[in-house]
Structure 1
């Protein structure tokens, strides 16, 4: 996700830059690294939501894949907390985001 400025609450210029990147059909994005860009001790899923919404809208589930950012995420959350937050942010455990996109991109 390119290190969105979650702790500051700013969306721009990050969102505009991310949308410009997403305009290239050969790009994908990893739904990752959010908790360590938020307030490490007090982040909430709602703090992450505007940034997840931008990547979901810009890339769509066919060009978006989950990434835990483990072990770095451990500075702010457990792997399970990161996974739960990501599933809540996308509204369901969308197989495309949590399996299919990565399988295609990494040719697994």
Structure 2
């Protein structure tokens, strides 16, 4: 399986260029050419990165004449946020448990 067939959002976001694309799309929808002008990679490379982000559910696209305009996919980003929130809550619960155990131990 090539990197471009990967559909996992976390794997997709592990790449610095893809994070840069997501950051730019957070400001406004953009076409491939616009993104390529702002990034140190070729237009075909941007297209491949967008393909990975789309398969991961992080961006979507629409036709605008002869070009495709990409924008962030709120549901995909919300799913990542939910996962981060679960990790964070587990970490906080773990910290709370340690503090409570130490407090019980000190009594």
Fold match (TM-score > 0.5): no
Looking at secondary structure, tell me which structure has more helix per residue.
2
TM-score (norm: length of structure 1)? 0.32
TM-score (norm: length of structure 2)? 0.32
